Structure 1
Amino acid sequence: MKHYVITSDDVSARGAADDCAVQLRKYASLGAGDHRRWVELSDRAGAANVFAQHWFMDAALRHSAPAGDAVLAVVLDHEGAWLGAVPLVPEPSFGRWPVRNWQTWLATNQFLGTPLVSPRDAHRFWRSLLRYLDAHTKQGLLLHCRRFAQDDPVCAALADCCDAEGRAFRVLERFERPARFPGSAIRPAGKSEKKALARLRSLRGRLERDHGPVTVTIEEPDACCEHWIDTFLALERKGWKGRTGSALACSPDTEALFREVIRGGQERRVIRLAKLAANGRPLAMSSWFEAGDRGLGFKMAFDEAFRSYAPGQLLMRSVADCVGRNPAMHFDTCTPALRGQRNSPWNDDRTIYDCAVAIGPRRYRLLFDGLMRARTAWATAIPAIRRITKTGAAD
């Protein structure tokens, strides 16, 4: 059910404060000129978020069925150049609460949601977009932003704009991801990291004794990637993801998106493809993005029959060593922190968060405040409710 009705494929308005136009564009309505401006924006915005760049997001919107209701929110300057873009989707509820809102749209396997904006234009982008939503989203109470990064200047600009305008901004969830920041690679290894390295050396030695020579291969940037793609998809489908139907190859859309992203990344020389094998048999495979001094993890799979040898961890050690060859690299693994593996092989943490921003007229801001208080009260009450329920069941 659609709760926001866009009567044309191109809804736009101009924000007086920054002389910027805002458009909500259906993907199908974008023409050759729009795609050209999108590419130009990608070049200006830089490589902080590969997932937001034209070549990735264009493929994501084409291959993702859930993107049907999504619109591309575009902020343009007075000459028509794109200052920023972010896909949004109208949602009928906010968690358990029946409150209509706008949510930043994420593709399958998109691990960072930062909009495509040049940092120098970030404040203009957010001021224009928020004021547009204030004026045109009468049924929307908030903008729900997902998987933003605390250290990203575009995300910081959103908080700045909210603070300057007295607009409510609430962090909903915050978590850490293993990362490597500039300078981490040259720091001396601590005691716990030395212990982890010794364990991995032991596992690799045992794997070689039991199953033959262990090799780690990283594909050349100009190599054909089709065999690597086929092997990865088959390896992932053999494991628990295949059994639960969540492997990439279990859906034509997700497989097509993965294939196009790997090919596109290889063509632009920003994707890295690695494989760990024993006696020629692939046991673990990984892919990640590197563009300039920014890196983002992407997809990984391993052979569960060899779990006791930790092939995924062995390969990650090699990936970390590869990433560490560039001391200026800022690398986000895009994976959740795992208990017991804090210092191996990543030295740092990157803070990722979801947030809610109030939009609409003053009475909507008051409702937003009430919603946030109710949400906090419910989260506080849940443990007590569970204890009471558990006690009652025991009785």
Structure 2
Amino acid sequence: MRAGRGRKRLNEIGRMRRRLAESGRVEVEIVAAPRAVRAAVEEFLALEASGWKAGRGAFLSEPSLATFLRSATRLLSAEGLCRVAALRLDGRAVAMGILLESQNRSYFWKIAYDEALRAQAPGVQLAFALTELQLARPEIDLTDSCAIANHPMIDRLWPERIAIADLAVSLDDKGFGSALRRERTRRRIREFAKRVALRVLERKPS
């Protein structure tokens, strides 16, 4: 990130940080204590529901998903395996991310940001701050963005890749080939839909 084309990206992030700071005090907060995680998760749910995902994938739009998120983060934080990061403007969360952990790995599972501040890219700023924070943790060997391949935001910050593969095992050869074809078709359609959605979101006015 600090060499070649990455330097230009860093300058751009710095410029957006300064623009955001013109509106108030900017700070990054990480919480890990169970009670603090519980409160932060409620902030995350409200922030996510305030954006384009409202009614279209936001946890609060599906009670069962919201219950799952609350339960999972509560139980994991009790074991020290969940953190919530927040980029705050005068104390108000403008971008938040949930990290789950297992042994020496972290998973940047979910992110939400204030779309009214899209021009200052609070989500990008949070991801960059997390980059530095995670690199400073000697107990963490790898942080997985959990993003789809060729993601327009995270790819510019985290260019390294890990290989992931699915293994299909047949317990009965009958119909196995057709089941694989259906699954491949489903994945192609899903990937196409995600690319279209990302392009539409990138064209939305600030």
Could you say which TM-score interval applies, normalised by the shorter chain?
0.7 to 0.9
What CA distance in whole angstroms lies between the structure 1 residues aligned with 2:181 and 2:95?
Answer: 45
Correspondence for 2:19: 206
Q: Secondary structure at the match of 1:353?
A: coil
Equivalent of residue 335 in structure 1, options 128, 147, 165: 147
With over 3 angstroms needed to count, the CA separation of the structure-2 counterparts of 1:279 and 1:256, relative to structure 1, is same
2:134 maps to a residue whose letter is: V
1:250: how far off?
1.4
Q: Secondary structure at the match of 1:232?
A: helix
1:373: how far off?
9.4
What CA distance in whole angstroms lies between the structure 1 residues aligned with 2:162 and 2:89?
Answer: 33
1:340: how far off?
6.7
Correspondence for 1:225: 37
Correspondence for 1:319: 130
Correspondence for 1:297: 108
1:299: how far off?
1.6
Q: How big is the alpha-carbon RMSD for the aligned residues of Structure 1 and Structure 2?
A: 2.7
What CA distance in whole angstroms lies between the structure 2 residues aligned with 1:368 and 1:191?
Answer: 48
Q: Note the alpha carbon deviations across 1:346-365, whole angstroms, 9 max, x for none.
A: 141123334433322xxx36
Mapping for residues 24-63 of structure 1, pairs under 5 Å: none
Q: Secondary structure at the match of 1:297?
A: strand
What CA distance in whole angstroms lies between the structure 1 residues aligned with 2:49 and 2:117?
Answer: 15
More strand, by proportion: 1
Correspondence for 1:274: 85
With over 3 angstroms needed to count, the CA separation of the structure-2 counterparts of 1:260 and 1:213, relative to structure 1, is same
Equivalent of residue 353 in structure 1, options 151, 162, 165: 165
Q: Secondary structure at the match of 2:162?
A: strand
More helix, by proportion: 2
Correspondence for 2:76: 265
Q: Secondary structure at the match of 2:83?
A: strand
With over 3 angstroms needed to count, the CA separation of the structure-2 counterparts of 1:240 and 1:222, relative to structure 1, is closer
> Structure 2 length normalisation: TM-score?
0.78
Equivalent of residue 306 in structure 1, options 117, 125, 140: 117
With over 3 angstroms needed to count, the CA separation of the structure-2 counterparts of 1:220 and 1:292, relative to structure 1, is same
Q: Note the alpha carbon deviations across 1:17-47, whole angstroms, 9 max, x for none.
A: xxxxxxxxxxxxxxxxxxxxxxxxxxxxxxx
With over 3 angstroms needed to count, the CA separation of the structure-2 counterparts of 1:323 and 1:340, relative to structure 1, is closer
Mapping for residues 188-203 of structure 1, pairs under 5 Å: 189-203=2-16
Q: Secondary structure at the match of 1:240?
A: coil
What CA distance in whole angstroms lies between the structure 2 residues aligned with 1:261 and 1:357?
Answer: 29
Q: Secondary structure at the match of 1:305?
A: helix
Name stretches of at least 5 consecutive residues in structure 2 with no aligned partner. Answer: 187-206
> Structure 1 length normalisation: TM-score?
0.42
Q: Note the alpha carbon deviations across 1:322-360, whole angstroms, 9 max, x for none.
A: 21123551221111232375341x141123334433322
What CA distance in whole angstroms lies between the structure 1 residues aligned with 2:129 and 2:143?
Answer: 14
Equivalent of residue 235 in structure 1, options 47, 51, 63: 47
Q: Secondary structure at the match of 2:152?
A: coil
Q: Note the alpha carbon deviations across 1:249-292, whole angstroms, 9 max, x for none.
A: 11221111111111112111111111111122211000111233
Moved more, 190-199 or 313-322: 190-199
